[in-house]
Structure 1
C-alpha cells in the first residue's frame, strides 16, 4: 500500500460517484414516476464512455501488480504480504463486474437481468468488506474500518436495487457513498502513508512494520488517542460535506433544467420515449 495506490482509488471512486450521482438525478427528474435504476449509465456516442473502457484496462493491471507485490515482498510481516493478494482478489471481482455490464449492453443480453448484475455487485462489496484492513489495529485499523463500513453500505444498496430498482433514494445514497469512499481513501493515504500529513507525534504506517498486528507508531499513548478522535471527527466532516454537496446538486439540477446531463442510452429510456410518443396528444382537426 502507498499514497499512489490510495490516490488512484480516490480518482476512480470520486469520478464514478459524481458521474453516477449526476446521471441518477437527471434520470429521476426527467420522469420520477418511471424512474428505474441502471447498473451503468452509458452515453452516446460510445466513445464518451471512456471511464468504463479505461477501467476495463486499469483494473486487471492493478490486480496483477498486487499479485506481483505479493510474490516480491520479502518482509517478515506475513499478514501485510497477504494483504496484497486480498486486494488483488477484490479488484478482480470488480473487473468481472464491469465485464458483465459490457457483455450485457454490447450484445443486448436482456436475459442477464439488472437484478443479477446488482446482486453480483453486492457480492463484490461484501468481499471488499471482509478483506478490508486485515492486520491493522488502533488508528489505522479504525480508518480502514470506516472504508469497510462504506463498502458494507454499498453492498446493501446494491442488494436493495436488485430487489427494487425504482428506489431513487437508495441509488442516491449509493452514489454519495461512492464519493465518500473516494474522499476518505485519499484521507487514509495522506494520514497513514505520508510524513507531511501524518498524525501529530506519530510516524507513517510503513515505518517499523512488525510480524503481527500493525498500527502507526506514536511517541505517546495520548497522541494515538488524540489521533483516533481526530480521524473519527474527520470522517464525520467528510460525510457531512459530501451529503451537503449531493443535496445541493440535486436542488440545483431540479431548479435549472439547462444544467441537466443529456440522455443516457438503454432499453428503459427507449421504452420511456415510446410511451411519451403514445401519450402525446394528436393535433385537432379543424372543420372548415
Structure 2
C-alpha cells in the first residue's frame, strides 16, 4: 500500500514538472536540465506500452526512485515536450539493472546544465569579444556552480540511500524531489557564480548588450517551440511559417522596448494566401 502510494507520488511529481512547468525566464535553464550519464546504467525515462512490467517493484531501493523522479523526467525528450506524447500510451519509468555502482553522484547527471552553461559562455564570449583568460574564468565559475548544485542534490539523496519504499514518507519524498528539481532548474540563475563573474567582468554598457543578445536568443527559441505544434496542426506553408515567426519575434522585441505592436501589423493576409514573408531583423 505504502509502495503504491509512493509510486504515485513519483509519477505525479514528474508529470506535473513536465506538463505544468512555468514559462522559462532569463534566470532559468531552458530546454534540457539534465542528461543521462554515460554509460546510462541507472534510471532511464521511456515511453512504454501498457503491458510493460511495473518497474517500481517492491525491491527497488528508495534512492533509485529518487533518481527517477529528479532526473529521469528531464532526460526524456518526449516528456519534456508534451506535444510528442501519444495519449494512447502509458508514460512510465523503465529501470535497467546496474552493471556497476548504483550512483556516481549528481554531477555526471548535470551534463545538460553544463551544456547550457557553455552556451552562455559562448554567447558572452562572442558578443563581448572576451579573451582566453576571461573565458577560462567563466568556465571555472561554471564548474563551481555544477559542484554546488551536485552537492545540494546529493545531500538530499543521501537520506534515501539504503532505504526501501516502505520506509519513505511520501510527502517528504515529494517535497525533496521538488526542491532538487528547482535547484537544478535555477542552477545558472542570477545567484550563480557564473552570472556574478560575468557581471563583474563586463562594464555596464557591454553587459546590457550581452543581456539583450541573450534574451533575443532565448526568445527565438521560445518562438520556435510555440510554432512547432501550430505548424503541425495548421500545415503552414514556408512563407506563412516565416511570417508568423517574424511577427512573434517583432512583437516580443517591441514589447521589450516599450512599444505596443499594432494589430494591423499581424500577418493576417499572409495567413490567408501565399505571399513574401515580412522582412525584419531585430
Q: Scaled by the length of structure 2, what TM-score is found?
A: 0.31
Structure having the higher helix fraction is: 1
Q: Could you say which structure has the greater relative contact order, defined with CA pairs below 8 angstroms and 6 or more residues apart?
A: 1
Structure having the higher strand fraction is: 2
